[in-house]
Structure 1
């Protein structure tokens, strides 16, 4: 009986170890060939008009989110996670945001997380590298083999390779990256294009390239901005009330419907899909469906 129990435990442990981001199939797939559901404005949590999430970073990771995005602004002499303005919403320093992710990664050795931060005040890259180093997450950060050159889409490592190398954070900055001086903070728009954001059309019928302006889809991964706003007196406010419909697997205006529309246009699935209110609807179910797992 004891031998049977021990064998069962070992078998279960081996099965768990063989998973990457919760799926065995992901282990052999390149990072560039997986769709990651992401938390848009992930640090901005609460019931205020400018909030975008109901649950904190750790809870987002616990539910299966492996793509975290957030805005930074330079406030009181440090990079801070602020929504548009630090007067409007201040979620603490960038180093704290990164530290929370690192703590989670420390206890989840089979997980790979993508981090995308914005540079709202166009500050120098040294401010970002200082925050990465202060948090300790820089040790997890992936550096492409072609650095400082851009890694072609077909040459990305698999999730298992990233895990084996201990490089389980893939970090991007929207503007101001300098891959020659800080090779582990990648220039977002050298690698990705994005669809329009601040969308108020609940059908999400637009998959056009919004950023970078005039870019070609060739050779770039892409991020779909699938979060709905409502226009209140000319101000775009995150639409909390319709989140379950917006974040559904299928149906009009769903994650699946927009992903299918974009795939038809570009010939491949999105690499990232950003959501508000990630705990509403079924973002992880949509991720599984798009990835075919």
Structure 2
């Protein structure tokens, strides 16, 4: 009898989407995610942006990972600005860690946003996804998905398409159909903010779009400007920056400006503060 009493609880947990059964019926474009900015750069130096590993970020409840890539001798490497500054290993190593986590968490939808500043061949990215096995989870739309036509999280899970992949520049869906052009789907607020009040929610990239047709990403991470044009992440103020009060202040500014909650709130040091509490609040 005692075991039977707990069966409904276990069934509810098993049926949850991203740990929350209320999200199962929500369209992907109606869910708010906290995102890990430069998720691969784990450490404590001024070149790092996170304190805990990608696996630990996912275990916290983060389901949106952003990461920089660079060209290192013809290979795709997880480097910050240049590989001489910070080299966190190969793209394959990074994707392999995500694959291992997703294999163990079949009810979770994860989004990956990659940068490609060096215009590395898109097929080379696809090779890394294939070699790690991560390509088995990718979402492959046959055409551009309108903001109100995204599948629900439940449909993404049922379809085995639980990984949504975006790239900022140099994607080509005619060659790799699952690496989607970020700026066909999202606009972003400015990054590199040095004002702890985060007083803006304007469109930075791309310009000249109808904001109502796009999801949007808020860059809520604070920097310190050492001298003209040189900024580093502000680790000291991370507890305040990532507090619910600070996040909520900018989110409410954005809501007032655009009439809806951001789809993504991108953070440094995501294990510090109240990121997951904020995510849960906005998806309630």
**TM-score > 0.5 by shorter chain:** yes
SS in 2 for 1:121: coil
- The answer to whether structure 1 residue 284 and structure 2 residue 276 are counterparts is yes
- For 1:26 and 1:18, how far apart are their aligned partners in 2? 10
Q: Which runs of 4+ in 1 moved over 3 A?
A: none
Q: CA RMSD in A?
A: 1.0
Matched with 1:261 is: 253
- For 2:94 and 2:46, how far apart are their aligned partners in 1? 21
TM superposition shift of 1:9: 4.2
Matched with 2:2 is: 5
Pick one of 208, 212, 215 that aligns with 1:218: 212
Matched with 2:125 is: 128
What pairs with 1:1-293 in structure 2 (closer than 5 Å)?
A: 4-144=1-141, 147=142, 149-234=143-228, 235-250=230-245, 254-291=246-283, 293=284
- For 1:210 and 1:8, how far apart are their aligned partners in 2? 53
Per the normalisation by structure 2, the TM-score is: 0.97
- For 1:139 and 1:16, how far apart are their aligned partners in 2? 24
TM superposition shift of 1:215: 2.7
SS in 1 for 2:127: helix
Please tell me whether the aligned partners of residues 74 and 80 of structure 1 are also in contact (alpha carbons under 8 angstroms). Answer: yes
Q: Which runs of 5+ in 2 are unaligned?
A: none
SS in 2 for 1:88: strand
- For 1:92 and 1:214, how far apart are their aligned partners in 2? 36
TM superposition shift of 1:134: 1.3
- For 1:179 and 1:238, how far apart are their aligned partners in 2? 33
- For 2:173 and 2:259, how far apart are their aligned partners in 1? 29
Per the normalisation by structure 1, the TM-score is: 0.94
TM superposition shift of 1:143: 1.1
Q: Which runs of 5+ in 1 are unaligned?
A: none
Task: Give the number of equivalent residue pairs.
Answer: 283
